Amino acid sequence: MDLGKRIGAEFIGTFWLVLGGCGSAVLAAKFPEVGIGLVGVSLAFGLTVLSGAYALGHISGGHFNPAVSFGLWAGGRFSTGYLLPYIIAQVLGAIAAASVLHYIASGAPGFDLAGGLASNGFGEHSPGKYSLQAGLVTEVVMTFMFLIVILGVTERRAPAGFAPLAIGLALTLIHLISIPVTNTSVNPARSTGPALTVMLGGGGDWAVQQLWLFWAAPIGGAILAGIVYRWLGAHEGDR
């Protein structure tokens, strides 16, 4: 598959992930009387990855996340030459989705970008007011386990056809655990889209100021997972 089609699939897949996941948080989580709550938001993130991977995974691999690209690269599954194009496409897809979400959400009376548009944060901007240290550990560990699942279920000896299901359920579980801590990132693109949209829309710059954590921690956790999985020898010879 040529690079243009690959990055097009990554753009669309990341767009879908951010629109579906963050959209559920902004539009439906607290909707009067029928809000979906944290469980619903967690499922929404998992379902976007599951459906996106089945629809687009055969084109680009279905990363939709810079941390996944780095983790697969560290695990020997992804070419260095594709890293930057994939990450650019993922970030642009996330920004486009956040912009569409902002437009939709602003159609309701009383909407205020100062609410963060489902941005990630720590300290005063953590849903549960968790510290920077708690957020750092959460994002590293959750992304590490996410990549262990991804590397395992996409390994040649894994049952064929079930990888998107396992990956989607893993992301659902990650959100069920960590939404109260950081609003759950494990995906630098997902964090960047809402943060930039909030800042450019006049909602404040706190999310951009804290964005460094949601690049450093997920990428660090993902690279560590790639190294560990290679050490385990679960996919020797795969490149």
Integer Cα distance of 93 and 234 in angstroms: 32
Query: Residue holding tokens 């386990």?
Result: 145
Average model confidence (pLDDT) across the chain: 94
Q: What pLDDT, in 10s, does the model give residues 165-176?
A: 999 999 999 999
Handedness of CA 181, 215, 47, 239 (dihedral sign): negative
Q: What pLDDT, in 10s, does the model give residues 89-135?
A: 999 999 999 999 999 999 999 899 988 999 999 999 999 999 999 99
- Taking alpha carbons only, the member of 75, 87, 41, 44 closest to residue 150 is 75
User: Is there a contact between 105 and 24 (Cβ–Cβ < 8 Å)?
Assistant: no
- Domains located in the chain, CATH noted: 3-232 (1.20.1080.10)
User: Is there a contact between 193 and 120 (Cβ–Cβ < 8 Å)?
Assistant: no
Of the pLDDT bands very low, low, confident and very high (cuts 50, 70, 90), residue 34 is low
> Which pLDDT does position 158 carry in this prediction?
84
Integer Cα distance of 30 and 24 in angstroms: 9
Of the pLDDT bands very low, low, confident and very high (cuts 50, 70, 90), residue 35 is confident
Of the pLDDT bands very low, low, confident and very high (cuts 50, 70, 90), residue 33 is low
- Taking alpha carbons only, the member of 86, 75, 123, 4 closest to residue 233 is 75
Is a pLDDT exceeding 60 seen at residue 14? Answer: yes
- pLDDT average, residue stretch 83-90: 98
Q: Which residues contact 101 (CB under 8 A, 6 or more apart)?
A: 18, 19, 22, 23, 26, 27, 117, 194, 197
Integer Cα distance of 175 and 169 in angstroms: 10
The alpha carbon of 163 is separated from its chain's Cα centroid by a whole number of angstroms, namely 17
- pLDDT average, residue stretch 139-156: 96
Q: What pLDDT, in 10s, does the model give residues 186-228?
A: 999 999 999 999 999 999 999 999 999 999 999 999 999 999 9
